[in-house]
Amino acid sequence: MYANETEHPVVVGVDGSASALHAVRWAAREAERRGVPLRLVHVCHLMPVRHPRQVSPPPEYRDAVLEQGRHWLNEASEAARHAAPGLAVATDLQAGIATDVLIAESRTAQLMVLGSRGLGGFTSMLVGSVAVALSAHGHCPVVVMHSSSRDGAPPANGPVVVGVDGSELSDAALTFAFEEAAARGVPLVAVHTWLDVNMAGAWTALAYAVDWDWLQAEEEKLLAERLSVWRDKFPHVEVRPVVRRDRPDRALLSQGAQLIVVGSRGHGAFVGMGIGSVGQTLLHHAECPVAVART
């Protein structure tokens, strides 16, 4: 089902945070489903020496940073093996900038997974450079873990939910979402929104000039045509189409998902949602992992 004949791994960014450990456990089960290895990467940001030698960090500093990274990788490796016994797990300790290293890792990864809160180079990544850079420049799908549950663990129940905008650029999101729903044995909710209610409210005469029922029917027809190819490819996946005159983020967040999938680019209400306002809203407020799928 997955294109794993070359065994491209699932890669997780590890930084010692509780959020990263949840990401490791989720990624371990995902790698097991896909039949590929799991690769755990920690990036140490070692201070470059560009100032007088008298104030340079002592050698012990570098040793301590590297040792801490090894400890976090060992901890993550144990968590992965507990979540998916028998899974092949590799660890890699690298020095550099987290964004640069992870983008490079995405070239050979089948999937990149990151926690929503972290330490070191991953601090505040939901609104920082790492998440934005990976969404914009990564070479494979990127999953960002987020949960509002008490223990921080992502939900294990619920459907896979995908945003559909009718463009060819959403094909990657649909393919990824159908594969995930099939692997999990859960329904797929395909959400299509066709007018931001804020826009409708701004045009007071719009409600009297538009045949909303006709537009709703046309948009439902558009979604059905868009889904027909994937229904044929995945006949065992239960598909639940949802068409709303609503904001895309609100429609996606209201489905009780265990995973939300969006495209890296789109048009209409979904423009730029990989790194734009809708994507940022999902990353902040979704109570489940959010996947940004790329072509």
Confidence of residue 155 (pLDDT cuts 50, 70, 90): confident
Assigned domain for 153 exists: no
Residue where a domain terminates, one of 89, 117, 144: 144
Confidence of residue 266 (pLDDT cuts 50, 70, 90): very low
One domain for residues 48 and 80? yes
pLDDT in tens, 208-236: 667 878 888 989 998 999 899 999 999 99
Assigned domain for 155 exists: no
- Long-range pairs of 223-231 with CB within 8 A, sequence gap ≥ 24: 223/164, 223/166, 223/190, 223/192, 226/164, 226/166, 226/170, 226/174, 226/192, 227/164, 227/174, 227/190, 230/174, 230/175, 230/178
Assigned domain for 227 exists: yes
One domain for residues 34 and 129? yes
Assigned domain for 208 exists: yes
Assigned domain for 149 exists: no
Residue where a domain terminates, one of 144, 171, 196: 144
One domain for residues 75 and 166? no
One domain for residues 85 and 186? no
For the domain that residue 31 is a member of, what is the CATH number? Answer: 3.40.50.620
- Please give the tally of structural domains in the chain: 2
One domain for residues 167 and 275? yes
One domain for residues 191 and 287? yes
One domain for residues 15 and 139? yes
Assigned domain for 55 exists: yes
What does the pLDDT read at residue 268? 45
For the domain that residue 282 is a member of, what is the CATH number? Answer: 3.40.50.12370
The b-or-e profile of 23-58 (16+ CB within 10 A means b, else e) is: bbbbbbbbbbbbebbbbbbbbbeeeeeeeeeeeeee
> Apex CA 292: angle with CA 95 and CA 222, to 5°?
165
One domain for residues 53 and 120? yes
Confidence of residue 32 (pLDDT cuts 50, 70, 90): very high
Q: Which amino acid is at 10?
A: V
Assigned domain for 151 exists: no
pLDDT in tens, 39-79: 999 998 776 655 566 566 677 878 888 999 999 999 999 99
Contacting residues for 2 by C-beta, under 8 A, at least 6 apart: 34, 35, 36, 110, 179, 183
One domain for residues 251 and 210? yes
Residue 228 or 121, more confident: 228
What does the pLDDT read at residue 123? 45
One domain for residues 50 and 103? yes
Range of the domain at 32: 10-144
One domain for residues 130 and 172? no
What does the pLDDT read at residue 59? 74
**CA-based radius of gyration for the chain:** 21
One domain for residues 89 and 181? no
User: What value does the mean pLDDT take over residues 12-30?
Assistant: 92
Which residue is it, tokens 């989720």? Answer: 26
Residue where a domain terminates, one of 144, 177, 201: 144
What does the pLDDT read at residue 47? 66
Assigned domain for 5 exists: no
What does the pLDDT read at residue 174? 94
